[in-house]
Amino acid sequence: MVQPKNRRLLTEAAGDVLAKRIGVNPRGAWAASTAYAQGDTVTSAGASYRALVDHTSTSTAPSAGSTWQLIAAAGLKGADSTVPGPDGKSAYQIARDGGYGGTQTQWLASLKGADSTVPGPAGQSAYAAAQAAGFAGTQAQWIASLKGDPGAASTVPGPAGRGFTPRGAWAASTAYAVDDLVTADGSTFRVTTAHTSGSTAPTATTPGSNLALWASRGHPHR
C-alpha cells in the first residue's frame, strides 16, 4: 500500500513528467516586451495561454491564435453582493486601536504642527507688482494711471433746496406762510404752520404754536 506522503511525491513527479511531455513552462502573468519560448504558459485577464512559438510580446495582450493557445478561459463574473460591507474605522478609531488614550478633541489638537518661527517674505507693494507685470513708469505715473476717465454729467436734477423768506418785523393780523422768517423782541422766528397772526407778538420764551425760535435775542454787554 502506498503511503500518503509517497502518493503525493508520485503525483508531483507525474505532473512534472506530463509538463515536460507537453512542453509547459509556467511564467506567471503575461507582460509586454518580454521574450517567451514555445511551451511557456501565462495568465491574462483571468485566462491561461500556452506559447506556440518563440517570440517577444508586444503591447497587445495574448489571445487564441498562431502565437498563443488558450488553455483555460476566464470564469464568468459572479453577481454583485447585495450585502453592504461594514463601515470603515475613522482615523481617530485607528489611533485608539494603535494605543492613543486621549479624547477625539485632544487627538485633533495633536495633529496641528507647531507655528513657524521664521517670518515669511514681505509682500510686494501694488506698484512693485505693477512693475513686475511690465509697468515702466514712476510711482507717481502709476498712481496717475489708476485714475479713471470723468463720468458723464448726470441728467437727473437734484432735489430743490429749502428756502426761507424774510418778512421783517412780525405784524398782527398778517398772513404768514411756512418758512417765513419774522423778528420780534430782538429774536428771529420761523413760521412752522401757515396762519394769520393774532394780536400777541411772539417772544423767545413763548413763540406760540405756529412759530419756532430761530435765533434768540443776544444779551447786552454790561
22's grid cell: 507537453
The band of 22, judged by pLDDT with boundaries at 50, 70 and 90, is low
Same CATH fold, 165-215 and 24-71? yes
Q: For 25-47, what is the mean pLDDT? A: 93
CA dist 24 and 118 (Å) reads 66
Quick check: 62 and 30 in contact, CB under 8 A?
Answer: yes
On the question of pLDDT at 35 being above 90, the answer is yes
Q: How confident is the model at residue 221 (pLDDT cuts 50, 70, 90)?
A: low
CA 121 to mean position of chain CA atoms: 25
pLDDT at residue number 24: 79
Smallest Cα–Cα separation from 50: which of 38, 60, 61, 66?
A: 38
- pLDDT value at residue 162: 79
Q: Domain map of the chain by residue range?
A: 24-71, 165-215
pLDDT at residue 10 in the model: 46
Task: Specify the pLDDT at position 6.
Answer: 53
Q: How confident is the model at residue 72 (pLDDT cuts 50, 70, 90)?
A: confident
pLDDT on residue 8:
52
Q: Which residues contact 104 (CB under 8 A, 6 or more apart)?
A: 92
Q: Taking residues 189-201, what's their average pLDDT?
A: 94
**DSSP letter assigned to residue 13:** H
Q: Which fold has domain 165-215?
A: Seminal Fluid Protein  PDC-109 (Domain B) (2.10.10)
- pTM higher than 0.85: no
For residue 218, is pLDDT > 90? no
Class of domain 24-71: mainly beta
In this predicted structure, what is the pLDDT of residue 113? 87
pLDDT single digits (tens) 99-141? 999 999 999 998 888 888 999 888 889 999 999 999 999 999 9
% residues pLDDT > 90 (the chain): 57
Distance, CA of 120 to CA of 97 (rounded, Å) = 39
pLDDT of the residue at 18:
46
Angle at Cα 207 formed by Cα 202 and Cα 209, nearest 5°?
120
Give long-range contacts, CB 8 A cutoff, 24+ apart: 42-46: 45/74, 46/74, 46/75
